[in-house]
Amino acid sequence: MMTSSSLVYLIALPLSGSAILLLSGRRSDKWGHLLATALSASSFFVGLYQLSLMLGRSNSQRPISQKLFEWISVGTFNIDAGLMLDQLSICFVLLITGVGTLIHIYSISYMAHDPDRRRFFAFLNLFIAAMLLLVLGDSYLNLYVGWEGVGLASYLLIGFWNQKPAYATASKKAFVMNRIGDMGLSFAIMIAFATMGTVSFSGIKEAADHTSTGALTAVGIMLLVAAAGKSAQFPLQAWLGDAMAGPTPVSALIHAATMVTAGVYLITRSNFIFDAAPTAQLLVVIVGAITLMFGALIGTAKDDIKKALAASTMSQIGYMILAAGLGPVGYAFAIMHLLTHGFFKAGMFLGAGSVMHGMNDEVNMRKYGALRKFMPITFATFGLGYLAILGVPPFAGFYSKDMIIETAFNSGGVKGIILGCVTLLGAGITAFYMTRVMILTFTGTSRWDEEAHPHESPWLMWLPMAILAIGSVTSGYLLSHGDALVNWLSPLFESHGEHSELLSPMVVSGLALLMVAIGVAFAFIKYSLNEVDAVAPADVSIFTTIARQDLMQDRFNEAVFMRPGQALTSVLVKTDEAVIDGAVRGVGRAALGSGASLRGIQNGFVRSYAALILIGALALVAAIWVVTQ
């Protein structure tokens, strides 16, 4: 593998920005946001430069690496802090820095009136650096550092307005649920090291051939737990909805485009493990399929525009995880959907932020309506993202999502038919809830509060939205034209033989479009032809109630994990107080008590002392006499 000395700049630029902004304090309030944006952009240009170099090399020469320093060196166990840039990482690097820079630009205006804007940009830069480390690390241990870094940045940014207790709780919830996933990743690293003796990607790839399937399955399942935690997949999905407490640019960057897709990256990067562990791979598909439906169903009932989009994100990442679980045929499509989703979902989140900006931070879609006239640019960019996520040709989602549906159908047997139907149904429900969002927000009659004065956002905000909208339109075609992305990534994955073709691409596209049309029609009938209430109706079916409560995910977690956990800790606390503290305090109390009772001897009378000495001497003599007899 070729080496390079410039990879470190990708990470060092945003990291230095974060350090400067945090350390210089209020002094950098005036120019901090500009510096952060410039550093993020320069990191993007370094990424573009690396891409141009990579394009100039032959397929096998494309991956490059850089050793930073010797990290751990114990006997034969050596781990270097090293970076690796290959065809997969470069996709992520450009997505992270590209979308990241656009969102930096957007935030300059969006956060303009926030007194802590500098701190916000410092955290954004920290996130960019950590996410780049995550995708550039050349071993699971290096990845783990970035993995924890993005978790930290996510926590800091969800709780950015932590003066509101609910927001602080939301950030804590995200952190704790992520921690379960992080534990999965650390277990995966430990098992991999115990069975294969290495933690680097290249080392494990070689060692995987002569490692037992059981060990690989264990590693795979632990990696899946990690991916589920970070990517809000079932059963660790509950944090994503609450994570919308963060500022909207954060939701767009971290909780839609980049960090939540880290799980997809992890599974794709670990393809050599999952390909050798069919059980773990099957679990990946199941988790993806469940989350896909889970998120879609939640999305149909949410009135909070950001939470509806968050449910949609969960569902779309379900698609990616499902595709990644289909093996070598699916990895490239998972990444393709990840990239197109990065464009259209970030664009829609920024659009939602723009709407909120013009509506006094109102998030309830039932209080919107008829905003198309007042926010034409937001409507246009949001609408393009909407068409992309629906999968209407020729927008981005059409290429990436149809590929996943087609691959699911063709994965063979009953599994293929079930997965195909799930993905098709998911596409239909997606169409329903996204149309609902569009209708409630932009069309119909206005249902605003009196003091709302909707207006279009300044150019600093709509410019990034426009660029992302262009990406939503073109990225699918560009990535799939001539199988560009598939061929680009193919050297990384095991080549796969010809697979059976259950349904031809045309039929799949037709079915998907039919489902989308049905979903749109339902939403149109329900929300456009009928009057929409400004207050969510209370007398709804049991299914709506459940969906509004996120399919009981919080209640389930509380009943199954939180309350027993609290009971366990209270028992442990009591045990600690009674047994451990009791023993310690008992020793003290015994010393005090014996001292108090012995103190009576110390009466100050010389004669009683003399008598005690005498008794002692006599006892001593008697003892000696007894012993020597």
Min CB(608)–another protein separation in Å: 8
For the bound state, the minimum distance from the C-beta of residue 596 to another protein, rounded and expressed in Å, comes to 15
From 249-257, 337-345, 396-404, 609-617, span contacting another protein (CB under 8 A):
609-617
Q: Report how far Cα 447 is from the mean position of its chain's Cα atoms.
A: 34
Is residue 108 a contact partner of residue 37, using CB atoms and an 8 Å limit? Answer: yes
By rule CB under 8 A, what count of residues binds another protein?
A: 9
Min separation Cβ 595 and another protein, Å = 15
| Sole window of 230-238, 318-326, 554-562, 608-616 interacting with another protein (rule: CB under 8 A) | 608-616
Stretch that binds another protein, among 98-106, 293-301, 384-392, 602-610 (CB under 8 A): 602-610
Position 431, amino acid: A
CB nearer another protein, residue 163 or residue 597: 597
Of residues 45 and 609, the one with the C-beta less far from another protein: 609
For residue 628, the minimal CB distance to another protein (Å) is 18
Task: Give the CB-side neighbour count of residue 201, counting CA atoms within 13 A.
Answer: 27
Interaction between residue 166 and another protein (CB under 8 A): no
Evaluate whether 68 touches 6 at the Cβ level (below 8 Å). no
Closer Cβ to another protein, 34 or 610, answer by number: 610
C-alpha closest to that of 2 among 46, 60, 41, 48? 60
Q: Which two tokens stand for residue 375?
A: 């926010």
Closer residue to another protein, CB minimum distance, 566 or 608: 608
**Residue 26 or 607 with smaller CB distance to another protein:** 607
Name the pairing type of β-strands 64-74 and 2-3: parallel
Q: 76 Cβ partners below 8 Å, 6+ apart?
A: none
> Rule CB under 8 A: is residue 560 a binding residue for another protein?
no
- Which of 573/612 has CB closer to another protein? 612
Residue 625 as a binder of another protein (CB under 8 A): the answer is no
By CB under 8 A, name the one of 74, 583, 598, 606 that touches another protein.
Answer: 606
- Residue with tokens 């110390």, as numbered in its chain: 602
Closest CA to 243 of 313, 169, 317, 174: 174
Residue 599 beta carbon to another protein: minimum distance, rounded to whole angstroms: 9
Q: Measured from the CB atom, is 482 or 604 closer to another protein?
A: 604
**Should residue 607 be labelled a site residue for another protein when binding is judged by CB under 8 A?**
yes
Nearest approach, Cβ of residue 617 and another protein (Å): 9
Q: Which residue type does 277 have?
A: A
Interface map 223-242 toward another protein (x if CB under 8 A): --------------------
Q: Is 602 in the site for another protein (CB under 8 A)?
A: yes
Question: Which one of 614, 619, 620, 621 is in contact with another protein (CB under 8 A)?
Answer: 614
Give the CA-trace dihedral at 89, 314, 157, 561, to 10 degrees: -120
Q: Which stretch binds another protein (CB under 8 A): 103-111, 161-169, 328-336, 606-614?
A: 606-614
Q: Coil, strand or helix: which one is 84?
A: strand
Distances 531 to 372, 447, 464 between C-alpha atoms, Å? 18, 11, 34
Amino acid making up residue 425: L
Nearer to another protein, 413 or 604 (CB): 604
Among 605, 626, 627, 629, binds another protein (CB under 8 A): 605
Is residue 291 left, alpha or beta, with left meaning phi > 0 and alpha meaning psi from -120 to 50? alpha
How many CB atoms lie under 10 A from the CB of residue 414?
7
CB nearer to another protein: give 194 or 611.
611
- How far apart CA 17 and CA 119 sit, in angstroms, is 11
Order of strands across the sheet with 77-85?
Answer: 2-3, 64-74, 77-85
Among 75, 537, 588, 604, which residue interacts with another protein (rule: CB under 8 A)? 604
* Site for another protein, residues 67 to 86, rule: CB under 8 A: none
598 binds another protein (CB under 8 A): no
C-alpha 573, offset from chain centre: 33
Q: Which is nearer to another protein, 514 or 614 (CB)?
A: 614
* Part in contact with another protein (CB under 8 A); list of ranges 145-153, 156-164, 597-605, 621-629: 597-605
Q: Cβ of residue 622: shortest distance to another protein, in angstroms?
A: 15
Residue 445 or 628: which CB sits closer to another protein? 628
Beta bridge pairs of residue 64: 2, 85
Question: How many CB atoms within 10 Å of residue 65?
Answer: 18
CB contact at 8 A, 130 and 146 = yes
Q: Which stretch binds another protein (CB under 8 A): 333-341, 426-434, 467-475, 603-611?
A: 603-611
Shortest Å distance, C-beta 613 to another protein: 9
- Work out which of 573, 611, 622, 623 binds another protein, going by CB under 8 A: 611
Instruction: Find the shortest distance in angstroms from Cβ 568 to another protein.
Output: 53
Partner residues linked to 79 by β-bridges: 72
| 173 vs 165: CA distance, rounded Å | 12
Decide: 350 and 106 in contact? Cβ < 8 Å.
Answer: yes
Q: Which stretch binds another protein (CB under 8 A): 67-75, 236-244, 581-589, 604-612?
A: 604-612
Q: Cα separation of 296 and 548, whole Å?
A: 12
Residue 72's DSSP bridge partners are: 79
| Strand, helix or coil for residue 476 | helix
By CB under 8 A, name the one of 552, 591, 610, 624 that touches another protein. Answer: 610
Within 8 A by CB and 6+ apart from 67, the residues are 3, 80, 81, 82
Select from 222-230, 555-563, 578-586, 601-609 the region that touches another protein (CB under 8 A): 601-609
Asked whether position 603 contacts another protein by CB under 8 A, the answer is yes
As measured in angstroms, the least distance from the Cβ of 609 to another protein is 10
Q: Dihedral, CA atoms, 515, 519, 525, 530, nearest 10 degrees?
A: 180
Task: Give the C-alpha separation, 254 to 256, whole Å.
Answer: 6
Q: Considering the complex, what minimum distance in angstroms separates the CB of residue 562 from another protein?
A: 59
Amino acid at 436: R
Using alpha carbons only, give the angle 46, 48, 52 rounded to the nearest 5 degrees.
Answer: 115
Residues that bind another protein (CB under 8 A): 602-607, 610-611, 614
